[in-house]
Structure 1
């Protein structure tokens, strides 16, 4: 009986905390793929296809600004294979995930680039600050619920004052994350479209 009450209380807490529910949904999935568009103040837009399979396989195919570039992270070897001009072209590089050549904006490592890491980071900021609902809307014709995270500045990229995150109402998958600076200036937007969850990948998709 006590165990049932504990589970009920835990589920109730998760349902009242959208980021906790989003994190729980991520822990339950096995794979996903998504088209990512990163727009940052003063920088060229990045567009890429992102593929993820547990326990941590990651494949990134760049569309812009480096068309043809492919990165694959192997969680068994903890190495990143890089094809600068596409899978069927040389050269092929084998790098550590902390190598500057394969680090993303703000020094993000390939092996720490999945949605689970993003949600964990937002939850840490929420724990140090506050979360407020923004209401409902649509992104790419999908119903979303928005939330604003203020405070918890430790670990943020320089100049960050608050975040807004928009979660799909059905899956709680993040479809947009916005980072704001002083005076409400929009510094960066990450859009995630064409999301597919728990799909099978072809054989050797992560080990070509």
Structure 2
């Protein structure tokens, strides 16, 4: 059975391509080429669903490994302030049950990133700043005002932005514009940085 992939080009000033599993918001592969990103999707989906189940979350079962690209878009904006791609499925509001699951997945992704930061004993400032920027921009799209003065510590800023986004999502609910996209990016980016930290030599 075929399964859809969305491809986002132009990340990291053009050096990175992201492939997203359309049926699993937050399940993504980041690679140097679109062929590499798309080709790695079956293994990524298997790992992502196993991670969800091991954490007590329900996860769909996918039959076959026929994952193929159905849509692509390029990051706009600037390298410092990128404007991430919105795909057609991002416009479809999730059901209330799906929304509840996605919030649970987002919390798990945060826990993965927090654990990786603790183990690494340091913070990749640039990567965390990107997550903070994306989270705050997403919260504004959901109708939330920007939080007050940001803490000076990059990890503290991350947690403030994450809490702000969670509150915005909970207030907005599943029918708010762009909810699926916001959750997709937040989960994918958290897991990406967590994996980078774990792969870095101590």
Q: Decide: shared fold, TM above 0.5.
A: no
Higher relative contact order (CA 8 A, sep 6+): 2
Q: Greater share of strand residues, 1 or 2?
A: 1
Bigger CA radius of gyration: 1
Provide the TM-score with structure 2 as the length reference.
0.28
Which structure shows the higher helix fraction?
Answer: 2
